[in-house]
């Protein structure tokens, strides 16, 4: 179904994991996808190739987020290949942080720079490019609503800040028909969780029991939620925190 034909999407952190799953799904739905990556150009090119092989259109943009001028540079590269934006998915982020007793000030500032500051200024700098009726999706986390992993407090704090951004931005952009939502994954099988899921004897089984559905999430599970929210079917959902944890919070 090419429900997004004629639309242009930007997915940050789309070279692997959840971001790649989202990029590929939006490509299958007809959108032209800007595949952002931080350092792994080869992986981003694989995502672009996969979208192309499925009949879609995509291009890669390499910018390391969390550094001064990152938003300006990303949009400068975007503008070379597209003339406007319909869908922005803020997915790129540092997936964890050391416990409060171990985290350094530098590490704290880095996780906030990538997970909070970068999405904020990508939106700030992208407002003139985002068309009326567009969509903004911020990838949050179930940890923003539960203290299941208190050792990841700094990371959880960044996702809480992102959720406030979602709520308030929905009011700012609502007059233009632009919806803004947070999607909150639980444990998903990606590079970030591979150490726990595949590197420990009972990791996968333990993770599966956390979900009410009795399994570990996949990037496609998150991509399908995002696909709904950016489609016309999601037009009346905005300012929401969408629990995509597979019932892990119940």
- Which pLDDT score, from 0 to 100, does residue 151 have? 85
Per-residue pLDDT of the chain (250 residues; tens, 9 = 90+): 689 999 999 999 999 999 999 999 999 999 999 999 999 999 999 999 999 999 999 999 999 999 999 999 999 999 999 999 999 999 999 988 999 999 999 999 999 999 999 999 999 999 999 999 999 999 999 999 987 778 889 999 999 999 999 999 999 999 999 999 999 998 897 777 656 667 677 767 777 878 889 988 899 999 999 999 999 999 999 999 999 999 988 7
Strands 241-244 and 179-185: parallel
Catalytic residue numbers?
Answer: 155
Q: What is the pLDDT of residue 193?
A: 62
DSSP state of 237: -
pLDDT at res. 196: 61
- CA angle, 66 then 71 then 72, to 5°: 135
Q: What is the pLDDT of residue 248?
A: 87
State the pLDDT at residue 106: 97
Residues with Cβ within 8 Å of residue 125, at least 6 apart in sequence: 71, 72, 75
Residue 194 has a pLDDT of 52
> How many other CB atoms sit within 10 Å of the CB of residue 156?
23
List, in order of start, the domains of the chain with CATH numbers: 8-188+220-244 (3.40.50.720)
pLDDT for res 225: 98
**pTM here?**
0.95
Give the per-residue pLDDT at 146: 85
């Amino acid at each position: 179904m090419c429900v997004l034909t004629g639309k242009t999407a930007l997915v940050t952190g789309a070279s692997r994991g959840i971001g790649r799953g989202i990029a590929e799904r939006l490509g299958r739905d007809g959108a032209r996808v800007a595949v952002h990556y931080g350092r792994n150009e080869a992986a981003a090119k694989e995502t672009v190739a996969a979208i192309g092989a499925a009949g879609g259109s995509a291009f890669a943009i390499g910018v390391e987020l969390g550094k001064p001028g990152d938003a300006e540079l990303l949009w400068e590269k975007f503008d070379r290949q597209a003339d406007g934006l319909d869908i922005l998915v803020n997915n790129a982020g540092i997936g964890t942080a050391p416990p409060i007793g171990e985290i350094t000030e530098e590490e704290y500032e880095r996780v906030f720079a990538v997970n909070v500051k970068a999405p904020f200024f990508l939106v700030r700098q992208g407002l003139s490019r985002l068309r009326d009726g567009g969509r903004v999706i911020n990838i949050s986390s179930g940890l923003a609503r539960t203290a299941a992993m208190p050792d990841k407090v700094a990371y959880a704090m960044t996702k809480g800040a992102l959720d406030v951004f979602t709520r308030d931005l929905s009011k700012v952009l609502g007059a233009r028909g632009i919806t803004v939502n947070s999607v909150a994954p639980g444990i998903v099988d990606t590079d970030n969780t591979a150490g726990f899921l595949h590197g420990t004897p009972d990791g996968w089984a333990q993770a599966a029991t956390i979900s009410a559905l009795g399994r570990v999430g996949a990037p496609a599970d998150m991509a399908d939620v995002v696909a709904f929210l950016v489609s016309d079917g999601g037009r009346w959902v905005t300012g929401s925190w969408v629990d995509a944890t597979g019932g892990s919070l119940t």
